[in-house]
A and B are shown apart, each in its own frame.
Chain A
Amino acid sequence: DIVMTQSPDSLAVSLGERATINCKSSQSVLFRSNNKNYLAWYQQKVGQPPNLLIYWASTRESGVPDRFSGSGSETDFTLTISSLQAEDVAVYYCQQYYFTPLTFGGGTKVEIK
């Protein structure tokens, strides 16, 4: 199984500042035949189901604000919130879909400092 490890477990960022979340996979999720990284990011606010933010490691889902961006390749990935807003308080999860079993990271809780 591919183990997804997120860091940090939590972070507190001032409004308008940058938040950076890391996700490391235990093996590469880059499929070389199409040069795509099989990695998604979700946002989960309190009491709500997850919401898809990013797929293919860096493609923003329709309707997601452009302050959210994804980067990285193979085993190391980053979700960046360029200017944190109050409505971004949530837990963020990465997920690999390279193969089953599908696996999620442990989550990173983002709060306002």
Chain B
Amino acid sequence: EVQLLESGGGLIPPGGSLRLSCSASGFVFGSYAMNWVRQAPGKALEWVSSIKATTGDTVYADSVRGRFTISRDNSKNTLYLEMSSLRAEDTALYYCAKDVNLGPPVYYFDSWGQGTLVTVST
């Protein structure tokens, strides 16, 4: 059974930094692209970033490019999201999500974690 467990969220002041982690199990982590998707309270889903399985190629939403960095450690089955220069509008539940396809990503998601809440506020 695929399991994704996010951690690292919390209350952080504007301008601060935070690193989220997503620990994966139940599948060959290193063979799948991984993603971060966020959801502000009461709002719709918003894609944040994706990272390919073996090349580590990354892509970002315009709203986070230059401030967030996605990375992965395939030896630890863990996905990361390094967040800096945080803004109030980054407040959201951050989900990690697994791409459906073994190998090259297709960019839709068949497994999601429960999310970790990031609150940017004084």
Which chain B residue shows the least CB distance to A54? B108
- Residues on B lying within 8 angstroms of A by beta carbon are 44-47, 50, 59, 61-62, 95, 100, 106-110, 112-115
A-B pairs with beta carbons under 8 A, tally: 49
Bound Cα distance A44, B45 (Å): 10
Instruction: Decide: A104 and B46 in contact? CB cutoff 8 A.
Output: yes
B45: which of A38, A50, A55, A97 is its contact (CB, 8 Å)? A50
Q: Which residues of B contact A40 (CB under 8 A)?
A: 108
Cβ-defined partner of A102 (8 Å) among B47, B62, B110: B47
Name A's B-contacting residues (CB within 8 A).
38, 40, 42, 44, 48-52, 55, 61, 93, 95, 97, 100-107
Instruction: Give B95 Cβ to nearest chain A Cβ, in Å.
Output: 6
Known: A100-B50, A100-B59, A101-B61. A52 touches B109 (CB 8 A): yes
Q: What are 14 A-B pairs with beta-carbon distances under 8 A?
A: A42-B45, A49-B112, A49-B113, A50-B95, A52-B108, A52-B109, A52-B110, A97-B107, A97-B108, A100-B50, A101-B62, A102-B47, A104-B47, A106-B44
